[in-house]
Amino acid sequence: MSTNFTFDAQVTAALFDAGGAVFALGDGSVRFAGGERFDVHDGAVLTAAVHPSGDGVVTGGDDGKVAWTRRDGSQVLVDAPGQWIDALDTAPATGLIAFAAGRTLTVIDAADPAFRRDFSHERTVSGVAFDPKGRRIATSTYGGAALWLARIAQQKPTLLKWAGSHTGVAFSPDGAFVVTAMQDNQLHGWRLKDARNMRMGGYPSKVRSLAFLANGQLLATAGAQGVVLWPFTGSNGPMGREATEIGYDESSLVTMVAARTDRGSLVAGLNDGRVWVADPAGRGLNFVRSDKGAAITALAMRPDGGAAAWAGEAGAAGVVDI
């Protein structure tokens, strides 16, 4: 079963909150699969994540606003005119919300409007990610990544250095590794216990999307003709080990991947508009969207693994059972 939508703007993010699929758009609106629409930002939504409560989504826009939108309304959490809020993450375990504007990382508490922490960087922050416990935050920037304690006001970050421009960041589900996407068609990782570097290259294009699955044993990434899978079993993660690839098709490129940490399957969106689902432990691909069209720019898997939400750069979108 599938439900299709045609939006009049590009979709920035597709998400699943507790109530179903949600789409955040380049025209500043947030639209729920049930039909509810809210015009939240005076400009484009640049980034979005599910609210720590699981109800609704938190969005950042090029109007400097951070907003929380639910099916019954929307409220502005932070208003910083003149700033671009282009990286954001939330932590269900602690109720915290972290976002980046320029060189500053800001942390707020969904349950305490008075709580705020601001952390300065030497270069622009490009990505933000909480660790699984919601206590630490990793940021990506030029020259590597920085680790912060989310609630501590005065601190110096732990710096994870690697030359080049790092454009996104993620923690492994066990909190033992940090992985960044880079501007020059590769990933880079660090084992946190000793800051050992992990070079993860060989991509034909930039990696714009990654997702852990299979209880954190695999990292799936876009950026190649198939989904690239890096092994994260054991204390060494992918160090000294080769990646594998599934769904290889020389005529297309994987632009987006989505998965749930505790699930064994993943969903991939291609630059020709198709979407497929696969279980790396099994064989074959299931194309849940076989029609070709504009490149897939947003993708999500429902928490129970039973549905995917996708969207293309031309405004077509949908929710499909998997």
For residue range 105-131, list pLDDT tens digits in order. 999 999 999 999 999 999 999 999 999
| pLDDT score at 1 | 81
Q: At which residue do the structure tokens 């959490």 appear?
A: 77
Q: What is the mean pLDDT of the chain?
A: 96
Q: Could you read off the pLDDT of 220-251 as tens digits, one per residue? A: 999 999 999 999 998 888 888 899 999 999 99
For residue range 20-43, what is the model confidence (pLDDT) as tens digits? Answer: 999 999 999 999 999 999 999 999
pLDDT at 159: 97
Paired tokens of 77: 């959490």
Interatomic CA distance for residues 297 and 295, integer angstroms: 6
* Model confidence band, residue 283 (pLDDT cutoffs 50, 70, 90): confident
Structure tokens at 135: 């206590």
**pTM of the full structure:** 0.96
User: Mean pLDDT across the stretch 149-163?
Assistant: 97
Query: Partners of 180 in the beta sheet?
Result: 169, 188
Strands 227-231 and 316-321 turn out to be unpaired
**Residues 175-227 pLDDT 10s:** 999 999 999 999 999 999 999 999 999 999 999 999 999 999 999 999 999 99
> Which is the CATH superfamily of the domain at 206-322?
YVTN repeat-like/Quinoprotein amine dehydrogenase (2.130.10.10)
Residue spans per domain, the chain: 206-322
- Tell me the C-alpha distance between 104 and 59, whole Å: 17
The residues, ordered by sequence, that sit 6+ positions from 200 with a Cβ below 8 Å of its Cβ are 179, 186, 187, 188, 189, 230, 238, 243
d(CA 25, CA 9): 6
pLDDT at 215: 94
**Greatest CA span in the chain, whole angstroms?**
53
CA–CA gap between residue 139 and residue 107 (Å, rounded): 12
